[in-house]
Chain A
């Protein structure tokens, strides 16, 4: 670990100013940043601790929206009754992440900015092998070697990593917005537009391996806004090797509105299959108006999965992702 300077701003204005300085990195709960420092993934000169900024851990209802402050922890969100009532899928996703101890520190602001679990990426410095994300231009060993847990959507030859977050998948299925602030002012983005799959980064002329979000360096997440959907039911399903304290092989977040037996609206996002939550847009457009049955749902979901591009070691993930999505949708309806 390399030496750095540490600052703890008292209010948001001060934080915004400090964060905008070159060489600055935000620390909130520190559960992810500390790993990076130890492994040598980042070497910030200044660490700006926003963990004690006032009023940023709020969870509440406001004008038809559920609002979450960026400093709310995964346990606070997961255990909050308002979240349980209006965004069950998000609460479930939070509580299925990490361990109880980590969730007590992990913030929802930092969570969406955690980086891939690709083992090549997570090696300690000096980096013993190639990795375009760690050392741009060196190559992507996972492309043809150990890629069992890597992407089936959106990847390029440059990088086949997935985003590991659970809550992010739920936020995407909920059509949440993320609120950002910088010295230039505030802006709001759909959560689903925050991250870039490698193909998308490439399409807009960025480095597919390193350009993971549309966030600018001087921007800070202040919170999220989740639109309340009357009568919506939701569920989150996480599949992993170990029953607790493990990242997912695949996850699905489903938000469904029913009209009797008929699907009125549906939104489904898959997690751990791409570098961003992957919405199943074909299923979302084809299912409304249909009577709910596992077969109908499976057929619709399969249509999205037909687009998957598995790697040498992860064909199983296509099947797994489909089954996980079907289960999550059925679980949402039954909830």
Chain B
């Protein structure tokens, strides 16, 4: 047996246990599976953004050698209703001649090899009766009311985007000494993960096996079963690794259903792996957001009013609300008035991406706080301290734990904030500026489930149906089991990624860590409890060996207060639960060439107990990389004539490369456990680093060249146009 590790296993900077699998290419992603006799599927997308299909001529495509069958909506069964908050799209494609957006599947080509399937799909002619596009700015904005967003399924996503009001904002604004009142815009952006989505489906009689790329594989059977009207218990989902999800694989998308349906029709396994271009219309994206935000404040910078009106685009047939107003709890403010609206346009349905809600909402809020600080001549940290929310502003609840003040202080120290040159400085052709902002992320929780098996030889097996989305959760679970049982981390083996394992919640918004480290800890405690009935030694292995059991199994069920299937911001815990942080940026701008560079960044985060210092740091660096992408590069543009995404490839849709990212990124954590957030003291971390950082970067640009950008990304064109307009 291996000796117990010295000190604590939790928190140690352990390398990822799945790392060797990945760097040797042994990790199997969904597309790596091809059951014998499988057909390769490609999708033929709708050529227009809305209208009706007149006919689909597949004759030329069917003549391609290797093509077995081409399915149109006539061939597909009528799907049953799929559950909201699990199925991304409720109006499923290929159910009628109706086209809901460009790229929506209108035919499925099935061939014995991928080459034939690819060739044939370009030869399918789809004739349509198109309806003109509706572009952003041309649609009608519909205000979201609370009732529209409440759902019967039980898995309620709170009241996403419901209006909220306390105090009299109009009166407070009218009497405020200073007022910031602006509109901030951020573009549509796609997730652009490396592994495009894909599903392999195989039927064995009534049993369906699905190899999938999913961030929440537990809902895949529910949605497929609802659509195909079968028992979800008959569906097994194998989804160990996800090559990037960022929210885009959180819910179940139509291609996952189509793969299963097609396999059933042709009675052969089907492999439907989306091509890069397909990805832009087959899952979601973060919608274009237009946010009007108003702050009123007293002369000494205390907030008197906050108004926040958010509008995002959605598809013509369904409502997706990007709940950016969820930042309303960041600062103490007596009068708050927030509302959201959606603008249906002829695009595919948006979906959460990389810290939905706060990632979007902090862009205007933190920018406005910086503008307010500038207007009043108060330091940006000082104005935030003056408005620090000691309790959750909208409910008055106490925070579970909150260390935002320490984050500001530590961040300022690490960055050298108070000794920075104000108003920027020059260095050769560059102007250098600095900026800061707060970060925050609300805690979204799900229950968790795990079993832990302790064997007589000292080996420990953790069994839980999580997916590896690249964040290192398996390693955390091994660390938790080792610490709880007093064994070494090396003695722990984690089995994951298969619905035959104990079912648990989703892997997004940091909820995977909260639910599953809790469930594993509880399972270990269950082992201790069972053994305690047999023995009084503290050493679990000794205790086990005193019995005649070959092994002992502990069950861990992590329940939320009041046993709800999901809660937000503390739910019924009696506390408000949220993660916080402070982010600092130094940016260089070349005003003649319009380019900007990340010089250095500092982020300090308060996310409860840090479970693994290495993976946590990596996660925050990744978040800052995405924040740079949002600030400087990323946008998915629509062609104004066809409402089609302009570019559907990674060479024209820019995301950051290493050269864009400074090696001077400093990450620190407050690392105080949150006893109310989870069993282990962990709290949602997610991509909190990607919140507020855009505002810090834009402030640094302002500091450097005196131009306020309220529309992202800050591109060379925008910089040069802005300077030209100012006559510089």
Chain A interface (Cβ < 8 Å from any Cβ of B)? 1-3, 40, 117, 119-120, 122-126, 128-129, 141, 145-146, 148, 239-246, 249, 313-316, 319-320, 323-324, 327
Contact = CB atoms under 8 A, between A and B. Distances in A.
Interface size class of B (residues with CB under 8 A): 35 or more
B721 interface: yes
B641 A239 contact: no
A324 B595 CA distance: 12
Nearest to B102: A128
Contacts of B122: 40, 124-126
B660 A243 contact: yes
Interface in B608-643: 632-633, 637, 639-642
B106 to A, nearest CB: 13
B391 interface: no
A314 B658 CA distance: 28
A3 B654 CA distance: 32
B594 A316 contact: yes
A242 B593 contact: no
Contacts, number: 94
Nearest to A323: B592
Contacts of B652: 117, 119, 122
Contacts of A3: 119
Given A1-B118, A146-B639, A242 B592 contact: no
Given A117-B652, A249-B716, A320-B594, A129 B721 contact: no
A200 B715 CA distance: 32
Given A122-B649, A124-B277, A245-B657, A141 B641 contact: yes
A35 B660 CA distance: 26
Interface of B: 47, 102, 115, 118-119, 122, 125, 277, 429, 592-595, 597, 632-633, 637, 639-642, 644, 646-649, 651-652, 654, 656-660, 715-717, 720-721, 724
A2 B724 CA distance: 48
Contacts of B119: 1-3
Contact of B659 (A129, A244, A313, A327): A244
Contacts of A126: 47, 122, 125
Given A1-B118, A2-B119, A243 B597 contact: yes
Contacts of A145: 639-641
Contact of B642 (A117, A129, A148, A244): A129
Nearest to B640: A145
A1 B639 contact: no
A128 B644 contact: yes
Residue from A128, A148, A319 with most neighbouring chain B CB atoms (10 Å): A128
A241 B102 contact: no
Contacts of A125: 122
Contact of B657 (A2, A148, A244): A244
B654 A146 contact: no
B642 A241 contact: no
A125 B119 CA distance: 10
Contacts of B115: 1
Contacts of A124: 122, 277, 648
28 contacts: A1-B118, A1-B119, A2-B119, A117-B651, A119-B647, A119-B652, A120-B639, A122-B649, A123-B648, A126-B47, A126-B125, A128-B102, A129-B639, A129-B641, A129-B644, A141-B639, A145-B639, A145-B640, A146-B646, A148-B717, A241-B654, A242-B656, A243-B597, A244-B659, A319-B720, A320-B720, A323-B593, A327-B593
B118 A242 contact: no
A316 B641 contact: no
A332 B129 CA distance: 58
A313 B718 CA distance: 11
Contacts of B632: 241
Nearest to A326: B592
Given A141-B641, A243-B597, 7 more contacts: A40-B122, A122-B647, A126-B47, A241-B716, A242-B633, A244-B657, A316-B724
A123 to B, nearest CB: 8
A323 B651 CA distance: 26
Contacts of A243: 597, 657, 659-660
Given A40-B122, A117-B652, A128-B47, A239 B720 contact: no
A243 B593 CA distance: 13
Residue from B633, B652, B715 with most neighbouring chain A CB atoms (10 Å): B652
A315 B716 CA distance: 12
Nearest to A99: B657
A47 to B, nearest CB: 15
A313 B637 CA distance: 14
Given A40-B122, A129-B641, A249-B716, A316 B721 contact: yes
Contacts of A123: 648
A245 B715 CA distance: 16
B47 A239 contact: no
B104 to A, nearest CB: 13
Contacts of A324: 593
Contacts of A319: 720, 724
B280 to A, nearest CB: 11
B719 to A, nearest CB: 8
Nearest to B723: A319
B17 to A, nearest CB: 29
Contacts of A117: 651-652
B716 A128 contact: no
B648 A242 contact: no
Contacts of A327: 429, 592-593
A295 to B, nearest CB: 14
A241 B639 CA distance: 20
Contacts of A129: 639, 641-642, 644
